[in-house]
Structure 1
Amino acid sequence: MPTVKTVYPGELRTENEHLQSGCKLITDAPLDNQGRGEAFSPTDLVATALGDCIMTIMGIKARDKGIDLDGTRIEITKIMAANPRRIGEIQVTFRFPDKLYTEKEKRMLEAVSKTCPVALSLHPEIKQNIQFIWP
């Protein structure tokens, strides 16, 4: 069974529906690639998926260990490369809330972040610059 159903209404836009939840998502081509830039671009979604996946993997481990990560903020920067046009680098910075984390917890969460399926699925030429800012 499909995961997502997509319709192309034209004008470099896609309308996507996650079939299990019914959640909808629109993409637009970016302004620098003939689009309107009114929504996430497909490459924005790739970069976002990396940050969200790492956060989810850390969240699972944190929940299992009784560590509170609520309020963690993520800043994601996608850097495009040319010839061919592609994602060259994704920068992800995690800013953890002002709570007390032990060195062991920090090391454990940073280590488990490396098991993110999105990170492991990206082409090795895409530089993944991941930073953790602890209080």
Structure 2
Amino acid sequence: MSQCKAVYLGNNNQSVRLEGNGQIMVTENDASRLLPTDILALALADCAETVLALVLEQKHLDFSGSYVDVSKDADFENYKVKAIHLTFHLHEEYSEEIRKEIPHILETMCVVGRSLHPDVVKDYKFLFDVK
């Protein structure tokens, strides 16, 4: 049994339905809706936030309110995502030790990031501006 079902609706529209709860997302190959390349970038951001939350909350650090700005560069002539840019907005009170540990957590624990082809640049920036 599949977890999701992707149905082509015609005219460059796809409907993706999560079988467990019936949630539906429609994608389109233009700028009016999420592109599949946007979903790839969002998957990296979601995975990265999840592993950071898991590790930092195990250390009894607050992760709530943290967020990630997401963008990507795609080469549509060669059909490739070139780079995914993630700017993390994290709590300003994190110690220098934690700040230095964060990139290592992402590189070693983010399944999506580790699964991307090495040609896809993962551009991580960290701002400690969440109060």
TM-score by length of 1: 0.86
In structure 2, how many angstroms separate the alpha carbons of the residues matched to 1:9 and 1:61?
41
User: How much has 1:108 moved relative to structure 2?
Assistant: 2.9
Q: 5+ residue gaps in structure 2?
A: none
The aligned residue for residue 55 of structure 1 is 49
The residue number in structure 2 matching 1:89 is 83
- After superposition, residues 24-43 of structure 1 pair within 5 angstroms as 24-30=24-30, 37-43=31-37
Q: How far 1:82 sits from its partner (Å)? A: 4.6
Choose between structure 1 and 2: higher strand proportion: 2
Q: Does structure 2 conserve the Cα–Cα contact (< 8 Å) formed by 1:61 and 1:109? A: no
Aligned to 2:98: 105
Secondary structure, counterpart of 2:52 in structure 1: helix
TM-score in terms of structure 2 length: 0.88
Work out the CA distance in 1 between the residues paired with 2:77 and 2:34: 22
Report the counterpart of residue 73 of structure 2 in structure 1. 79
**C-alpha distance in structure 1 between counterparts of 2:22 and 2:101, whole Å:** 35
Identity of aligned pairs, percent? Answer: 25
Q: Supply the AA of the counterpart residue of 2:39.
A: L
Q: Distance in 1 between matches of 2:101 and 2:85?
A: 21
Q: How big is the alpha-carbon RMSD for the aligned residues of Structure 1 and Structure 2?
A: 1.5
What SS class does the counterpart of residue 100 from structure 1 fall into?
coil
Residues paired across the two proteins, number: 128
Stretch deviating more after TM superposition (6-15 or 79-88): 79-88
